[in-house]
């Protein structure tokens, strides 16, 4: 395949000067969110439907879909193991890190969780979840009870690990053989855990099914899941009020915020002041970055947990902070989705074009016997300026502000319907809207950092962002340096 095609990371292809100062821009976005709060706080809310505790929906096992999904996984793994180990030449890194890890979650947030039939990890766990097989191998027919202390921690830990692979360990994690090996190990683990715990593993531990189902709460279709149709209809079903479930949902927000942080001059200055022995990709650097990622997750947890405590006290409620925060989580999920979309929209449109030549030669070797016509061959070149940078910028701004407005509406609906005292319910909304305004400004600031021209710092910012893009090159399956 051709080398040297320009492909962008999340940073914008060209710098774009804002029509107003960054401070006014941030204040403008925050003002829109606050004005939406003033508009909705006076509205009465009808009683919300009551649902039983949260359960991740599972479809019945289907042999046809199981075989199809497992064959697809096998082919992708074989491509990663036996194909070219040059990241741009092999289709597996692009399929996993672009499609499975970013595009599919976004599609679930728009449509709903459509993925279960094509999820090989669900299929193999359902296949091994059989009483006769357990009796033969374990000497018992019933699945083990999922420990209550374990909760959703397996899914949260696996999500954190994969996010680290994307953002921190990318010089190793995105290599075709490494990605393929990890998928096969996880496939075997899912089979074993399905044998031990049955459906409980899929509802609490299998990271992809939990991830797609969580995003699917936003999708306009339910695909069998509880909740009404329409955007965010699944959020009528409350999140389980446990620390592990709260942790998983907050990680969706933290991971994309940390990804945005990596593109800021602040992070570049931090890298610049590290000792010379600590280089990008070194073990010490990866450990340090992982600890910072974990610390950021903890800080954001403390922030929203503290705000939930203020909400509870302001509303005269007696529930603990975890339960209060779990009730407010539905208002955070649209924010997570909006920032995920805004942060990745250009990356998906530009790098997604790489799939055309990769489909024509998925293993990236000259020995590949099938030769397809353009655009499925090496003559295809991605259109890096398919849309102007200003489009991505204004699109992202609209998305960020819109989802924060949705968050304010959802929070108002929750607090107004769960508290019979209207005065206390309205009082309880003020701490949460302050948090929403603050996070709006943070999201817009992170979004603007790789983009905004600052004349006094221009000579410093441009090489800094190039360094960040280069560090993330392997994760994004780049074909050349920016």
- Per-domain residue ranges of the chain: 1-54+253-482, 62-237
Q: What is the pLDDT of residue 46?
A: 62
Name residue, tokens 């819109």. 402
Q: What is the per-residue burial (b if ≥16 Cβ within 10 Å, else e) of 154-163?
A: bbbbbbbebb
pLDDT at position 455: 40
* Sites in the chain below the pLDDT cut of 50: 1-16, 453-482
* pLDDT, tens digit, 9 for 90 and up, residues 370-409: 888 888 888 888 888 888 877 887 888 888 888 888 888 8
- What's the predicted TM-score (pTM) here? 0.88
Contact 83, 141 (CB under 8 A): no
* Residue-level pLDDT at 282: 85
Residue 292 backbone dihedrals phi, psi, to 5 degrees: -65, -40
Please tell me the distance from the alpha carbon of residue 339 to that of residue 414, in angstroms, as a whole number.
22
Structure tokens at 135: 């009796």
Q: Which residues touch 132 (CB under 8 Å, ≥6 apart)?
A: 141
* pLDDT tens-digit readout, 243-277: 999 999 999 999 988 988 888 888 888 888 888 77
Q: What is the structure's pLDDT at 463?
A: 30
- Residue 5 has a pLDDT of 42
What's the pLDDT at 9? 47
Q: What is the DSSP string of 414-476?
A: HHHHS-S-HHHHHHHHHHHHHHHHHHHHHHHHHHHTTT---GGGHHHHHHHHHHHHHHTTTTT
338 CB-near residues (< 8 Å, 6+ apart): 399, 400, 402, 403, 404, 443
């Amino acid at each position: 395949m051709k080398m040297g095609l320009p492909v962008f990371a999340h940073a914008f292809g060209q710098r774009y000067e804002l029509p107003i100062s960054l401070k006014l821009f941030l204040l403008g976005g925050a003002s829109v969110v606050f004005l939406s709060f003033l508009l909705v706080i006076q509205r009465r809310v009808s009683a919300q439907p009551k649902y039983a505790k949260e359960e991740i929906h599972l479809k019945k096992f289907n042999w046809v879909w199981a075989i199809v999904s497992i064959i697809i996984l096998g082919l992708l793994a074989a491509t990663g193991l036996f194909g070219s180990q040059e990241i741009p030449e092999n289709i597996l890194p692009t399929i996993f890190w672009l499609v499975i890890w970013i595009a599919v979650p976004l599609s679930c947030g728009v449509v709903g969780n459509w993925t279960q039939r094509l999820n090989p990890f669900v299929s193999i766990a359902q296949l091994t979840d059989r009483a006769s097989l357990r009796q033969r191998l374990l000497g018992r027919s019933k699945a083990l009870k999922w420990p209550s202390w374990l909760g959703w921690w397996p899914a949260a830990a696996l999500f954190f690990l994969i996010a680290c692979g994307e953002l921190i360990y990318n010089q190793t994690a995105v290599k075709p053989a490494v990605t393929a090996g990890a998928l096969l190990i996880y496939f075997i683990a899912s089979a074993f855990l399905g044998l031990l715990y049955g459906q409980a593993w899929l509802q609490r531990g299998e990271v992809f099914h939990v991830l797609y189902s969580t995003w699917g709460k936003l999708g306009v279709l339910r695909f069998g899941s509880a909740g009404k149709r329409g955007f965010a209809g699944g959020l009528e079903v409350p999140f389980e009020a446990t620390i592990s479930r709260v942790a998983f949902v907050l990680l969706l927000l933290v991971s994309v915020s940390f990804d945005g942080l990596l593109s800021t001059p602040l992070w570049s200055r931090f890298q610049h002041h590290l000792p010379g022995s600590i280089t990008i990709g070194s073990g010490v650097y990866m450990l340090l970055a992982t600890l910072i990622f974990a610390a950021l997750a903890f800080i954001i947890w403390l922030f929203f947990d503290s705000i939930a405590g203020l909400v509870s006290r302001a509303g005269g409620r007696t529930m603990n902070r975890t339960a209060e925060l779990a009730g407010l989580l539905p208002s955070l999920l649209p924010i997570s989705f909006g920032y995920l979309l805004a942060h990745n929209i250009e990356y998906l449109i530009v790098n997604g074009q790489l799939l055309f030549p990769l489909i024509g030669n998925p293993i990236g070797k000259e020995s590949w016997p099938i030769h397809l016509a353009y655009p499925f061959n090496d003559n295809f070149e991605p259109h890096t300026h398919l849309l102007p940078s200003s489009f991505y910028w204004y699109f992202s701004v609209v998305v960020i502000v819109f989802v924060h407005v949705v968050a304010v509406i959802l929070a108002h609906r929750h607090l107004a319907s769960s508290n019979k005292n209207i005065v206390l319910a309205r009082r309880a909304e003020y701490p949460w809207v302050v948090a929403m305004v603050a996070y709006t400004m943070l999201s817009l600031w992170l979004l603007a950092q790789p983009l905004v021209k600052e004349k006094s710092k221009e000579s410093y910012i441009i090489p800094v962002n190039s360094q960040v893009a280069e560090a993330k090159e392997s994760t994004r399956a780049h074909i050349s340096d920016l």
